[in-house]
Copies of this chain bind each other. A is one copy, B any other.
Amino acid sequence: MATGRPTHPADRGRPANRGRGIPEATVARLPLYLRALTALSERSVPTVSSEELASAAGVNSAKLRKDFSYLGSYGTRGVGYDVEYLVYQISRELGLTQDWPVVIVGIGNLGHALANYGGFASRGFRVAALLDADHAVVGTTAAGLPVRHMDELEDIVEEEQVSIGVITTPPGAAQQVCDRLVAAGVTSILNFAPTVLSVPDGVDVRKVDLSIELQILAFHEQRKSGEEGAEQAAAPAPAKASAPARAAAKLRRTAATATTAAAGTDGDLPAVMPA
């Protein structure tokens, strides 16, 4: 709290944040602010307060102001933030004022969905090519673009200066595709395959996992209906019964009708171990 005391000695002369470092948590929220601001901009709203913008973005206003403080002093006390100006500043900070060619590898259902996703083009992302290994898919079109064969990957990445690759292949193919993308010069990968990818230093990987989010929801859903109970089942005896037996005792309950989902396979997406 600023209680009227002088600035703490250790903080004197220190910039808001050392050097270039914007916290990861802040970076992850900038797209949310940008979306809310873009909506305001389309409605020709000239200025917005931290309170209004925070509510539109689904965060609290203290967090928003703190986040913005890492970018600079872009607001006006007593007034708020200029919408257009802030849209520009956040876009620039995120790197969206430049064109980002991306390749999408694996044109199944999800690849199709992404190729058609409007939220990309509007933010500077341009689909440079759609690639697939299956000759039955190559030559068809998706979102107005021809699906090209994996063989062309290296040429396309070089010619189009692609630095971002999107992987929507089955998990068994993901690491190979990743390796080829990296070898060709791609340094950022968005991975939709449920596989842990290994990449060399300097390459960023982000992961979107459709089933993980659902599993997290199930966890919380489970504790809504009666805290415990419902999910009763007999724990299978572990191979070495010694230590786990202690634990098993803790949760001993009546036998029940639990399906052994855990022991099932991954359906058409068999999990693959990383190298």
List chain A positions with a Cβ less than 8 A from chain B.
20, 27-28, 30-32, 34-36, 38-43, 46-47, 55-58, 72-77, 79, 82, 84-85, 87-100, 102, 108-110, 112-114, 116-125, 163-164, 166, 187-190, 194, 196, 202, 204, 206, 208-225, 227, 230-231, 233, 235-240, 242-244, 246-247, 250-251, 258-274
The 8 Å CB contact of A85, one of B82, B236, B261, is B236
Task: List 22 interface pairs A-B (beta carbons < 8 Å), by A numbering.
Answer: A27-B219, A32-B196, A47-B239, A47-B240, A56-B274, A74-B247, A79-B243, A85-B238, A88-B263, A95-B222, A96-B218, A97-B258, A97-B261, A99-B259, A100-B221, A119-B269, A120-B267, A121-B267, A122-B264, A125-B211, A204-B221, A208-B210
A88-B262, A118-B266 known; 16 other A-B pairs, CB under 8 Å? A40-B273, A42-B271, A47-B240, A56-B273, A75-B244, A77-B243, A82-B238, A96-B261, A97-B231, A97-B262, A100-B221, A122-B264, A123-B262, A164-B214, A188-B220, A208-B210
Cβ of A10 to closest chain B Cβ, rounded Å: 24
Interface centre among A38, A76, A217, A242 (most CB of B within 10 A): A217
A28 touches B212 (CB 8 A): yes
The answer to whether residues A91 and B261 also contact, given A82-B239, A84-B239 and a CB cut-off of 8 A, is yes
Q: Which residues of B contact A84 (CB under 8 A)?
A: 236, 238-239, 263
A219 touches B30 (CB 8 A): yes
B77 touches A216 (CB 8 A): no
The answer to whether residues A82 and B261 also contact, given A215-B94, A221-B204, A224-B202 and a CB cut-off of 8 A, is no
Cβ of A91 to closest chain B Cβ, rounded Å: 3
Q: Which residues of B contact A113 (CB under 8 A)?
A: 108-110, 112-113
B243 touches A119 (CB 8 A): no
